Amino acid sequence: MGKPQLPGFFPFNITHSGHVIACAVMQGDGLIGIDCEKIRPIEVIKFSKQFSPTEMQWILSAPNPQIRFFDAWTMKEAVMKADGRGMRIPLHSIRLHQTYATIDDREGVWHLYKIPTPVSHPSHICSPVEVQNIETIKINSTELFDSIS
């Protein structure tokens, strides 16, 4: 319910799946959402109610539909998280386009950006404003633990 906040800090959002943890921070005011998912075996066709027929065709026509499914899923979840309503937004009401999404009950577009994570963990950032500069910092868990011991 709602988004995580820290008083006096920039808007941010977090996600985790498998062995990946990611955080997106928006400098200044704004809305931001991030999602990553570990690719795992699923029956893609069972999710046809969450995607439009066009989106399902895009997913199923991919050389690897499971990878494409998790790409699409992270796009939709990033939108849900940026909007702030989370899972209260029905997934089927989010319409994916190549670089943006729309929500049936909202005006405007939600810009989507694929972020570099392992291929096994597709990830996207979403914001209603165009992001000019996305900086990524990769921290290997052994580097992190070595720096705090």
Q: Identify whether 16 is part of a domain.
A: no
Q: Identify whether 135 is part of a domain.
A: yes
Question: pLDDT tens digits for 23-64?
Answer: 888 887 788 999 999 999 999 999 999 999 999 999 999 999
Q: How far apart are CA 83 and CA 110, in angstroms?
A: 9
Q: Identify whether 43 is part of a domain.
A: yes
Domain that includes residue 63, residue range = 31-148
Number of domains observed in the structure of the chain: 1
**Tokens (6 digits) for 57:** 């065709």
Q: How far apart are CA 68 and CA 111, in angstroms?
A: 18
Average pLDDT, the chain: 86
3-state secondary structure of 36: strand
3-state secondary structure of 81: helix
Q: The domain spanning residue 83 has which CATH number? A: 3.90.470.20
pLDDT at 9 over 70: yes
* DSSP tag of 88: G
Residues 6 or more apart in contact with residue 128 via CB below 8 angstroms: 30, 31, 82, 108, 109, 110, 111
Question: pLDDT tens digits for 84-137?
Answer: 888 889 999 999 998 999 999 888 999 999 988 878 899 999 999 887 777 766
Q: Identify whether 141 is part of a domain.
A: yes
Q: Identify whether 112 is part of a domain.
A: yes
pTM: 0.86
pLDDT of residue 140: 62
